[in-house]
Amino acid sequence: MQRYNQINWSVSHAAHLLNRAGFGGSPAENEQLYSLGHEGAVEYLISGLTAEPSTAPPENIEAQNLLNLRQTMRGLAEEEKREHVRELRRTTFRETGQLRDWWMKSMRETASPLREKLGLFWHGHFATSIRKVREPFLMLQQLRTFHEHGHGTFDELVKHISKDPAMLVWLDGANSRKGKPNENFARELMELFTLGEGNYTEADIQEAARAFTGYRIDPRSRTFRLVPRQQDRDPKTIFGLTQNFSGDMVIEAIGRKKECSEFLATRLWNYFASDSHQAIPVKDLADIVRDENFSIADVLHRLFTSSAFYEPTAVANQIKSPVQWLIQLTRSFEMPLPEHRRTMMQFQQLGQILLAPPNVRGWIGGRAWITPSSLVARQNLANEILNRQLKPETCRSWIADIEPASPAVVERLSARVFCRPMRPEFHAKVQPAYLAMLEENPNSAAKNFVIHLTSLPEYQLT
Amino acid sequence: MIDSQPDFYTRRRFLRSTVLGGALSWSVPFFLERTFASLNAAAADSATQILTGRDSRILVVLQLAGGNDGLNTVIPYADDAYYNARPNLGIPDNSVLRLNDDLGLHPALSGLRTLFDDGGVSIIQGVGYPNPNRSHFRSTEIWATASDANRSESEGWLGRYFDNHCDGSDPAPAISLTNDMPQSFAAKQPRVISFSDPRTFRTGNSEDLSMNGSEEEGTMAGGSIENLAGAMPVDDSSSAEEFLKRTSLDAQISSTAIQDILRKSKSGGAYPGTRLARELQTIARLIAGGMTTRVYYLSHGGFDTHAAQSASHARLLTELDEAITAFVGDLKAQGNYDRVALMTFSEFGRRVSENASKGTDHGAAAPLFMLGGGVQGGLQGAHPSLTDLHNGDVIHHTDFRSVYATVLENWLKVDSQSILRKSFKTLEFMKA
C-alpha cells in the first residue's frame, strides 16, 4: 500500500483524519492538528491510544449492587419477591443509563479521540447487549477490556474477550461444559469475530466449542474463573490439526489463518476509511496486518499514513453513525452533550443505542442507518439541540471579523458545521439561503443558517 | 373517510406541485431542483405506470409482543389434558367460543369468531421452529430474520423483501407504527418509515412543502428547468451523497403525504380508545388516503404473562379483538378489505402447564391469525398434542417460515426462496 505523500498535507486532510480517527472538531482543532504536520498528527492520535480515560467511570456501578438484591430475594414471599424484581430492574436501568452517559461524555470530552473511536469499533465488532447480559457492571468490564487491550495485538484481545464475563453470558459460554459444549461462542468467534463465513467447517466449530468449556463467572466477584473439572481437555481436531487445544490455542490457530488478517483488515477499513460501497484494498491491508503482527495500533498507524485513506473517494463519503453524528455535532460547536436520557427516545429512532446493539452482528451501518424517518429524526434532533444550546452571539462571534454579506461567511460557517472545508459549488448553492436569513433577522442569521446546514443530506456524511 | 378522490403521492406530482406550483423557495432543499429535471422527463414516458394506490395488495403485520399464550387463545376445550395442566387458568368449556367440536376461541375474541364464521380468518396452528429459543430477545430476532435457531442474521425478512423486490420508486413502501425500526425491516437499504406518532414524522419546514400546489403543468419562473442538470440514480451504485439526497426527498414526500392524508381524512367508523385501535385506525386512514405503502407493521405489547394472567390476558385479547373488528369494518366500508391481509405473530407461545403464580412461562409453538378479504378462512393444521411435549412445551408442526413463504408467494406475489434463503412449503390459507 502506497505511503501518503506529505506534500499533500492540508487542513482538509487534517480534518478528514480527525473526523475518522475521532469525532471531528472545531476549526481551531483542525488547524492545530494540521500544524503538527502529517506524521506528527498521526503520532498524536496513535499515542492517545494508551492514555488514561479523560473521565472516570461511574463509581457506584459495582458487582455487589445486583448481587445483594438477588441474595436478599431468596426465601421472600411472592409479593416481596416481585417488589425485589422491580428494584433489580430499576437498578439495572439506572446503571445502564449512567454507563451510557459516561461513555458518551468520554467521547465528547476526550483528548484522545482515537482511543474512544476504537472502543466504539470493538463494541460493534464484539457486539454484546445489556438486554441479555442484564448486569451493567459486566458491560463496564467489557468496555474496560476494549480500552485496555483494544490497541494491542488482535489475538490477545480475542483471548480476553473469550473470557469476558459479559461475553460469557451473551453467547452462553458460562453454561458450556465438558460433554455438553455450547457452540454459540465458537460459532460467532469464527463467523463474526475473526474469520468470516465460509472459512471454517461445522466440525471446526463443534471441536472449538469443546476447547472453551469450563469458562465460568465467579458468583461473587463476577470476574472470569476457570473450572478445570468442567473443561474438556481431550484432543480436538481443528483446521485439520489434532491437539490438546485450549481456548487460547484455538484463538492462536485462528490468527495463523490468512483469512483472519483479511477479515480484520476489511472491518477496520470499513469503519475508519470508507463507506461499504467502495472497493476495499483488502489484500494490501491484510499484508499490513500480518506485517505488523496484528498489532492494532501499528495497523492503524499504517492505515492513517496510507495514500488510500486520503483518496477523494474515501473523503466525506461515510454516513455517520448516530453516535458519531451527535458527538461530532457537539464537538464542532464546542457545546456540551445533551443528557443522554433526554435524547434516548430520539436515539431509538436513529437506530443506535449503546450497549444494546440489535444482535451479535452489531449494527449494519452505512446506508442501513438511513431511512426517511431516521433522517427526519436527525434533522429534528439537531434543530432541537442547537436551538436550545447554541447562542446567536456565539455564532456571530465565529464570523465577527467578516463583512456580514460576504461569501466568506458562508465558507466559514459551513467549514465549522461540516468539520471540513466544503466545495465552492456547495457555497454557491447555500449562499441565497444565508442572504435571505440575513435579511430576515441579522442577529440570528448565523445561527439559523448553521441549523439549516445541519438539516441537509450532506450533513450526514463525514 | 376522504370525501374527494384520493390523491396519489408520487415524486412526480410532489415535484410538480412544489417546484412548478411556485412554492419553491430557499427553504426547499436545493437538491430538489436537480432531481426535478430528470424525474419530470422520466414521468412523461411513464404515464401508464402512475401509481394508483388502489390496485396493490397490502400486508399488515401485527406483533403480539411478550409471547402470547396460544393455548388460551385457541383453546382445545375437549381435551382433558388442557384442564389438567391449567387448573386455575383453563377457560371453562361453557364460555369458550366454539369453532368446532374440539377447539374454540377465548371468550374475549367474539369479533374474530364472527369474522371466522364469515370465512375471513385463517387460524394457523402449531407454528414455531426447530430448537425453540425461550429468550424474548433471541426468539423475536429469529422470527424477524427468519433464521434457523442456531444462526444469527442481520437482515429481516421484510427488509430482504424490499431489498430484492422494491425498485425504489415508492417513497414510502413500508410504515411501522413503532418508535424504532423493527428488525424485520433491517436491510442493506431499509425502506421503512417508523414513527410511534405520525405527527412527529415531519420537519420544521415541511409546511412550506404542502401538496396543495397546482396540478397543471406550469412554467417555472426564468425557465431555468433546462439548466437543471443531473439525474438521480436509485440503485445502490449511486454515491452516498446521491443516496442521502434521494432518501431526504422521499422523507419530504412521504411526510407531506402522511400529514396531508391524516389531516383530510376523517375517522372511518367507531374505533375503541386503545393505542392499538388508534394505530390500526391510522393505517386504515393511510390506506383510504391512497398511500401506496405495501407493508404496515405494529406491535401490541404486554403478553409476557408470568403471573396472575387471567385478567391481563383477557384484557389484551379484548383490545386486540375490538381493534381488529373496527379495522375490518372500516376497510370493508372503504372497499379495501379485499386487498388487505393482516397477520399476527408472537415470539413464542407459553408453557402448557400454568405456574405457581397463576401465570404461564415462556413456551414454544403457538397459533397465529391471518385475516382479510383474500384469506382462505378456516383452521390450518391440527392442534398440537398436549401430551406429547418437549420440555413441557407443545411441539410445532408448521415452520413459521412456511407462513412467510405463503404470504410472500401467494399474497405479495414474489419468489420466497430468495428472501427466506431456503425453500419452505407454502400453506393453503390465501385464496388462489
Burial of B310 (0-12, 13-18, 19+ CB in 10 A): middle
Which region holds residue A210: left if phi is over 0, alpha if psi is between -120 and 50, else beta? alpha
**B427: distance to nearest CA of chain A, Å?**
30
pLDDT of residue B50: 37
Distances (CA, A) of B355 to A70, B72, B136, B411: 21, 14, 18, 40
Strand A224-226 vs strand B121-128: parallel, antiparallel, or unpaired?
Answer: unpaired
C-beta neighbour count of B17 within 10 angstroms:
22
Note whether A361 contacts B152, CB cutoff 8 Å: yes
Phi-psi region of A279 (alpha: psi -120 to 50; beta: other; left: phi over 0): beta
The candidate with the shortest Cα–Cα distance to B154, out of A369, A362, A281, is A362
Do the chains contact at A436 and B186, CB–CB below 8 Å? no
pLDDT attached to residue A355:
97
**Which of helix, strand or coil describes residue B312?**
helix
First to last CA, chain A: 23
- Using DSSP, state whether A457 is helix, strand or coil: helix
Best mutation target, B11, B14, B26, B362, to test chain A (most A CBs within 10 A): B26
Q: Is A412 left (phi over 0), alpha (psi -120 to 50) or beta?
A: alpha
Helix-helix angle A113-125:A296-304, to 10 degrees = 110
Identify which of B379, B355, B357, B372 has the alpha carbon closest to the alpha carbon of residue B407: B372
Q: Which amino acid is at A47?
A: S
User: What residues are paired with A241 via a beta bridge?
Assistant: A238
Residue B14's pLDDT is: 57
- The DSSP line for B2-34 is --SPPP---HHHHHIIIIITT---TTS-THHHH
**Lookup result for grid cell 413456551:** B363
Residue with grid cell 491484510, as numbered in its chain? A286
Sorting pLDDT into bands at 50, 70 and 90, what band is B327? very high
Q: Is A277 on the interface with B (CB under 8 A)?
A: yes
Extract the C-alpha cell encoding A299.
495497523
Q: Looking at the complex, report in whole angstroms how far the Cα of residue B383 sits from the nearest Cα belonging to chain A.
A: 32
Report yes or no: B398 and B427 within 8 Å, Cβ to Cβ.
yes
User: Which whole number is the average pLDDT over B206-227?
Assistant: 31
- How many other CB atoms are found less than 10 A from the CB of residue B47? 8
Q: CA of B26 to nearest chain A CA: how many angstroms apart? A: 5
The grid coordinates of residue A90 equal 430499576
> Could you tell me which of A227, A193, A229, A223 has the C-alpha nearest to residue A208?
A193
Q: Which residues pair with B379 in a beta bridge?
A: B123
| Pick from A376, A436, A457: CB nearest B202 | A376
**Å from B408 to nearest chain A CA?**
23
Summarised one tens digit per residue, pLDDT across range B368-413 is 999 999 999 999 999 999 999 999 999 999 999 999 999 999 999 9
Task: Say whether A436 and B26 touch across the interface (CB within 8 A).
Answer: yes
Residues of B in contact with A318 (CB under 8 A): 240
* Residues B267, B357: Cα–Cα separation, whole Å: 42
What are φ and ψ of residue B295, in 5° steps?
-130, 130
- Distance in angstroms (rounded) separating the CA atoms of residues B61 and B343: 5
pLDDT, residue A63, reads 87
Name the helix (H) or strand (E) containing B121: strand B121-128
Cα distance between residue A218 and residue B89, in whole Å: 40
What pLDDT band is residue B212 in, cutting at 50, 70 and 90? very low
What confidence score (pLDDT) does residue B235 get? Answer: 54
Q: Nearest CB to A375: which of B27, B195, B247?
A: B247
Half-sphere exposure of A142 (CA within 13 A, CB side): 31
Say what the pLDDT of residue A374 is. Answer: 95
Rounded CA-CA distance B93/B88 in Å is: 13
Please indicate whether residue B432 or residue B177 has the higher confidence score (pLDDT).
B177
A460 shares contact with chain B (CB less than 8 Å):
yes
Give A275's contacts in chain B (Cβ within 8 Å).
240
**Per-residue model confidence (pLDDT) at position B226:** 24
A365 touches chain B (CB under 8 A): no
Please tell me the number of Cα atoms within 13 Å of B74 on its side-chain side: 28
Q: From the list A317, A368, A460, which residue is nearest B239 (CB)? A: A317
The amino acid at residue B71 is L
The closest alpha carbon to A298, from A124, A36, A43, belongs to A43
- Cell of residue A25, nine digits: 472538531
Residue A175 cell numbers, joined: 453454561
Cβ-based neighbour number of residue A257 at 10 Å: 16
Q: Which three cell numbers stand for residue A314?
A: 474515501
- Chain B residues touching A461 at Cβ < 8 A: 240-241, 244
pLDDT of residue B204: 62
DSSP calls for B402-431 = HHHHHIIIIIS-S-SHHHHSS-----S-B-
Residue A206, Cβ density class (10 Å: 0-12 exposed, 13-18 middle, ≥19 buried)? middle
**What is the reported pLDDT for A64?**
85
Over 80: is that where the pLDDT of B17 sits?
no
For A80-89, the pLDDT digits (tens) are 888 888 999 9
Measured in degrees and rounded to the nearest 5, phi and psi for residue B105 equal: -95, 155
Q: How confident is the model at residue B264 (pLDDT cuts 50, 70, 90)?
A: confident
In the numeric block, the cell 463476577 is attached to A222
Give residue B56's pLDDT: 87
- Helix-helix angle A11-21:A37-47, to 10 degrees: 10
pLDDT score of A412 = 96
Q: Is A317 on the interface with B (CB under 8 A)?
A: yes
The C-alpha cell at A241 is 490439526
List the Cα angle B122/B73/B410 in 5-degree steps.
Answer: 20
B96 within 8 A of B104, measured Cβ to Cβ: yes
**A348 contacts B180? CB cut-off 8 A:** yes
Scan for cell 405506470, then name that residue: B49
Neighbours of A52 (CB within 10 A): 8
Largest CA distance in chain B: 82
Contact A207, A194 (CB under 8 A): no
CB contact under 8 A, A373 and B357: no
User: Average pLDDT for consecutive 10-residue bins of chain A (462 residues)?
Assistant: 95 97 97 98 97 87 85 81 88 94 95 97 97 95 97 98 97 94 95 95 96 96 96 97 97 97 95 77 94 98 96 91 97 92 87 94 93 94 94 96 95 95 93 95 96 95 96
- Residue B47: the pLDDT is 30
Please check the confidence at residue B12 and state whether its pLDDT lies above 90. Answer: no
- Tell me the average pLDDT of chain B: 83
CB atoms within 10 A of CB A2: 9
CB atoms within 10 A of CB A411: 18
**In angstroms, how far is CA B47 from the centroid of its own chain?**
29
* Residue B252: closest C-alpha in chain A: A372
CA–CA dist A225, A214 (Å, integer):
8
For chain A positions 70-89, those within 8 Å of chain B (CB to CB) are 78, 82
Secondary structure of residue A430 in the 3-state scheme: helix
* A325 within 8 A of A378, measured Cβ to Cβ: yes
Question: What type of residue is B226?
Answer: E
Secondary structure of residue B252 in the 3-state scheme: helix
Going by pLDDT thresholds of 50, 70 and 90, the confidence category of residue B267 is low
Q: SS3 for A281?
A: coil
Burial B120-135 (b: 16+ CB within 10 A, else e): bbbbbbbbbbeebbbe
| Cα dihedral: B51, B52, B55, B58 (round 10) | 70
- pTM for the model stands at 0.88
Q: Per-residue confidence at B20, pLDDT binned at 50, 70, 90?
A: very low
**For chain B, what is the radius of gyration of the CA atoms?**
23
| Cα dihedral A246/A247/A248/A254 (nearest 10) | 110
